[in-house]
Amino acid sequence: MFEFELSDKQKQLKEALRGLGKSVIRPSSLEWDRNKDIPLEFLRNFYMLSASMRGGNSPMADLTEGSPTGSSAGPSSGNRTAAVAAEELAWADASIMLSVPGAGLGGPPVRSSGTAEQRERFFGIFRDMSDELRWGAYGLTEPGAGSDVASIRTSCRKQGDHYILNGRKCYITNGGRASWVVIFATIDPSLGRAGHRAFVVERGTPGFFVGKIEDKLGLRANETAELVLEDCHVPAENLLGGEERYQTKEGFMTAMKTFDNTRPLVAAMACGIGRAAYEYARDFVRDNYVLGRPIPRYAAIAERLARVNRNLEAARIMVWKAVWMADQGIPNAKESSMSKALAGQAAIRACIDAIEICGAHGTLSEDHALLEKWFRDIKVYDIFEGTGQIQRIVISKRLMNNLRGF
């Protein structure tokens, strides 16, 4: 069974990020939200600081490059470390977690499906960012295909030593500033999943454009972009994994494997936001109420706080199980979906309860604007990386497949 205890290094990382979040990130959070941007100089300093904490490697490296798991070198702890970091950074400000320089969500598919040459080429640009910050991105969602991944319509056709891509991608995190984006396309929509192909499309590729930058309800300091491909000429050598990888449904499986690694990290971020709201409400109640007094309303407040706390604790345990399985090389699709479905709802409920417990102070007072911000930020955690409804479908299918063996 998986371990609940963090390693000494993970504990040190957790404490370091908690201290940085409390003293530096959270005090700037509202300003970043209003300006819809995190200053590049801050991101540069954060990257350099995080690199020094890991002896030259960013603590986000396991997330951005996709830690190899279940290899001959033995089990990794990269996914667990990334989950710890994700929760702590989201506790401070979720936008910073999504804005960290590196391969981002584009990292796991390149790590799991790319050739050795592709991994070296595309990860190599992130090894030294002392002069220029760089990002990677993941382009799957389309205006007509979000949760239904099999319905993507971005097309690809081979022409000589290139593929020609046409289509639009939307809601792409860091899409506008990415050095490269993993783009999913199809050779024939009628083939469904079997027609999927994954490409690494580099910035500056002919026919590859950035569309609008989204104006969002939450996570406003993080860039979310539309990407447009119009007769985009992508070298055949950028087909992720090479031609032979797509003799089966490998393109679709590349997308799904990415979700198995990233959904628990999204769930960890949700836990961080939910924990922030819970702690805020807890401290507000401690300073304004004496819950030991025999007043029914006080008992109801205490019960609400207890329910929020236990739901968040349960979500974190599910996250840790999912990332432990990933580090052990154990298939974790069901647990990955469970962690995201549970954490998203638990954190949304935590933010709602915190606002209701604090009353007008929760949204109207400038001193309490962080609670209102967390309420705006948290909703997307039940949407992106697969909606809560999709997670429940995945879970039920996995359960039913197991039952068929009886």
The bridge status of strand 136-139 relative to strand 180-186 is parallel
pLDDT at 346: 97
CATH number of 135-248: 2.40.110.10
Task: Please list the alpha-helical segments (H only) found in 125-189.
Answer: none
CA-nearest of 105, 91, 100 to 140 is: 105
Q: Alpha-carbon dihedral of residues 159, 257, 179, 124, nearest 10 degrees?
A: -100
251-403: what CATH class?
A: mainly alpha
Start-end of CATH 1.20.140.10 domains in the chain? 251-403
Say which CATH class 8-113 falls into. mainly alpha
Give pLDDT, residue 146.
79
What is the pLDDT, as a whole number, of residue 398? 87
- Position 57 scores a pLDDT of 45
Provide CATH 1.10.540.10 ranges for the chain.
8-113
Is residue 37 a contact partner of residue 96, using CB atoms and an 8 Å limit?
no
What is the per-residue pLDDT for 56? 44
Q: What is the pLDDT of residue 66?
A: 44
* pLDDT at 70 (0 to 100): 43
CA distance 319 to 321: 5
> Which residues make up the CATH 2.40.110.10 domain(s) of the chain?
135-248
How high is the pLDDT of residue 194?
83
> CA 384, CA 140: separation in Å to the nearest integer?
11
pLDDT average per 10 residues of sequence, the chain (406 residues): 83 93 95 96 87 54 45 65 94 95 90 92 92 94 84 95 97 97 94 89 97 96 98 97 77 69 94 97 89 80 95 97 92 93 97 91 69 95 89 88 59
Pair 235, 162: CB distance under 8 Å: yes
Residues with a known catalytic role? 385
Q: How far apart, in Å, are the Cα atoms of 231 and each of 162, 167, 208, 224, 237?
A: 11, 9, 8, 23, 17
Q: What is the pLDDT of residue 230?
A: 98
Q: Assess contact for 134 and 109: CB atoms under 8 A.
A: no
How many angstroms separate the CA atoms of 89 and 99, rounded? 11
191/404 Cα distance (integer angstroms): 27
Quote the CA–CA distance of 202 and 212 in Å, as a whole number: 18
